[in-house]
Structure 1
Amino acid sequence: MSRRTFFIDEGLGETRGGVLLDGRPERLLIQRADDNPRLALGARLRARVAHVEPALSMAFLDLGEGAEATVSFKPDARPRQGEALEVEIRTEPRLGKLATARLIGPAQGTPALLESAPTLLDHLRHMAGEGDPVTGRIARQLADEAEAEALEVIHPLPGGGTIAIEPTRALTAIDVDVGERKGNEAKRVTRQANLAALAVAARVLRLKGLGGLVVFDMAGRGHDGAALMAAARAAFNPDNPGVSIGPISRFGTIELTVPRRGRPVTEILTEGAGGPSARTLGARLVRRLEAEAMAAPGGRLVATCAPAVAEAAKPALSLLAARIGARFEVKANASLAWEQIEVHAR
């Protein structure tokens, strides 16, 4: 039976929490000090209808303080422009898309946050069950490992082979590669790789926070459709309700849809770029300084990084100075590689 545990890493300006499935990262939640609480999953708000699109059965909402969302409506329940509504955030915003909300009912007054979203701990317990989270140094290590895996494109399969997970604007494509997986019968090897790919991909998609349309390009030909469907249902069961899985096609592909809820972790970490963003690297810089400060109590610390990373780290560095004192210096060096961070005590 699968076992889930969870952890919370309390950083300066950033908290990372996650779920482990049989010891492997399955979920990663990231909350940053500058996140907008009005756009957090589960937040309840009083909103104003800013614009109505009857053809799309959709209304655009003003949530206050610059936050926006959309809400769908039935043809016989069209809201009026300027009307106040009580809503709950159903999916967080992602690149190029507004948050979506669930209509609760009519309201009175100006846009306001009525009830904060569940805490990160609440979300983790909903995903993993009750219990106490792992904290401290072990949690930081687990969060670092989960973050690194979430940013990878190629993921190994147990027994050999790999999957490549690549999101696009329209869908997430997953390619299954048998690679050097060993076995005497090619058909059996391919079948085992495909079954393993479904289980690994389901876990990693949850880790990355990816949803929507997902297309698997399965390895080989002449697939056992019934076995693949059963494996897919089992692998994606934790994502229910809302998962829909189609049969394998004559082209060897399986299509499914997975509900979107939180903002994709990969988007948070990269902010739409190819690699880690300055904000993500700034958090790493602060964690490195904090770890070095614990290893060298009273020592003077010097960190060197790219200029944009140093700038992004400034808010958290102020918090670090309040915790350990102003005994560190951050030097910006434009000649360093983007992800290069050097920290030492002197």
Structure 2
Amino acid sequence: MSQRRAYLDIAPGETRGVVTLDGRPEHLILARDEDDPRHEPGARIAARVRKVEPAFASAFVDLGEGLEGLMDYPPDRRPVEGQMLEVEVRAAPRPGKLAAVRGVGPAEAPVRLLSPGPSVADRLAHLTRSRETVTGAEARRRADEAEETALTEAHVLPGGGLVVIETTRALVAVDVDLGPRKGPDPKSLVRQLNLTAIAETARLLRLKGLGGLVVIDLAGRGHDGTALLNAARNAFAADNPGVAFGPVSRFGTLELTVPRRTRAVSEILLEPGGEPSDRTLAQKLVRRAESEAEGETGRVVKIEAGAAVARLAWPLIDRLAERMGARFDRVLEPDWPRDRFEVTVP
């Protein structure tokens, strides 16, 4: 039976939650201080209907301070422009896409946040059906591992073989490669590879926060479509409701749609070009400074960083100093590249 465990890593500026499935990361939840609570799934908002689009049975709703959401409505419950409604955020916004919301009932003006979505700890409890959460150094190690895995494209499968997951504007493409995997029965080998790849793809998509249209290019040919579809239904059961499958095509691809509910991890951690953002680097610096300070009680920790990262990291280091004591010597290095920083104990 599969086992899930929860890990909670808290640092100034950011909280990270990890769920592992049989020891491997399955979910990575990132919450930063600057996150807008009106964009978090589960948040309740008193919103105003700004525009109704009858042709698409949807409406644009004002969530406040220039933020908008998109709400679908049934034919017999068409809203009226200007109407106040209580809505719940169902999916976080993504680049080029508004937050998806659902109508809950009437609301009174003004437009405002009624209640935030569940906390990271609450989400971990929901995913694992347990309030048992590991914290401390082990949680930090698990979160670092989950981040690294979530940002990797090529993943080695248990027993050999490879899956490569790449995102495009239209879909998520998954390529299954036999690689050096060998066995006495090639047909059985390929079948087992594809079954393993489907299960791993489901876990990795949850970890990466990816969804929408997914196309899996299976290894080999002459597939047992029924067996593969049954395996896919089992692997993606945790993502329901909303998962839909197409048949295995004559080209050896399996197509499915998976609901998008959260932002992709890469969208949070990386710049559009694929490099870590200044905010991500600053958070990494702060965690390293905290770890050094914990391991060297009473000694000064020296922190050196370039201007872009220092601007974001120094206020977080102030908060760390308040909790651990003023033991941080900060040095601005204006000529350093943005991704360089050093944390040492002289």
Normalized against structure 2, the TM-score is what? 0.95
4+ runs of 1 displaced by more than 6 Å?
A: none
Q: Is the 8 A contact 2:160 2:179 kept in 1?
A: yes
Question: What is the Cα deviation at residue 305 of structure 1?
Answer: 3.4
CA-based RMSD: 1.6
Q: Is the 8 A contact 1:61 1:69 kept in 2?
A: yes
Question: What is the Cα deviation at residue 49 of structure 1?
Answer: 1.3
Q: Is the 8 A contact 1:49 1:84 kept in 2?
A: yes
Change in 2 beyond 3 A, CA 1:340/1:198: farther
| SS of residue matched to 1:117 | coil
Question: What is the Cα deviation at residue 296 of structure 1?
Answer: 1.6
Deviation per residue, 1:295-331 (Å, 9 max, x gap): 1222222223343222232331221122233332344
Give the distance between the partners of 2:306 and 2:220, measured in 1 at CA: 45
Question: What is the Cα deviation at residue 264 of structure 1?
Answer: 1.6
Q: Note the residue ranges of structure 2 that are not aligned, 5 or more in a row.
A: none
Change in 2 beyond 3 A, CA 1:148/1:334: farther
Give the distance between the partners of 2:309 and 2:79, measured in 1 at CA: 45
Q: Is the 8 A contact 1:95 1:272 kept in 2?
A: no
Deviation per residue, 1:150-197 (Å, 9 max, x gap): 111111101111111111111100001110002123222221211111
Give the distance between the partners of 2:202 and 2:304, measured in 1 at CA: 38
Q: Is structure 2 residue 14 aligned with structure 1 residue 11?
A: no
Change in 2 beyond 3 A, CA 1:218/1:343: same
User: What does residue 161 of structure 2 align with?
Assistant: 161
| SS of residue matched to 1:213 | strand
Aligned residue type for 2:267: E
User: What does residue 208 of structure 1 align with?
Assistant: 208
Equivalent positions of 1:87-106 (< 5 A) are 87-106=87-106
User: What does residue 49 of structure 2 align with?
Assistant: 49
Q: Is the 8 A contact 2:216 2:255 kept in 1?
A: yes
Change in 2 beyond 3 A, CA 1:54/1:288: same
Give the distance between the partners of 1:26 and 1:156, measured in 2 at CA: 15
Aligned residue type for 1:120: V
User: What does residue 234 of structure 1 align with?
Assistant: 234
Aligned residue type for 1:156: V
Q: Is the 8 A contact 2:307 2:338 kept in 1?
A: no
Give the distance between the partners of 2:76 and 2:235, measured in 1 at CA: 39
Question: What is the Cα deviation at residue 119 of structure 1?
Answer: 1.7
Normalized against structure 1, the TM-score is what? 0.95
Q: Is the 8 A contact 1:243 1:257 kept in 2?
A: yes
Equivalent positions of 1:1-346 (< 5 A) are 1-333=1-333, 336=336, 338-346=338-346
Q: Note the residue ranges of structure 1 that are not aligned, 5 or more in a row.
A: none
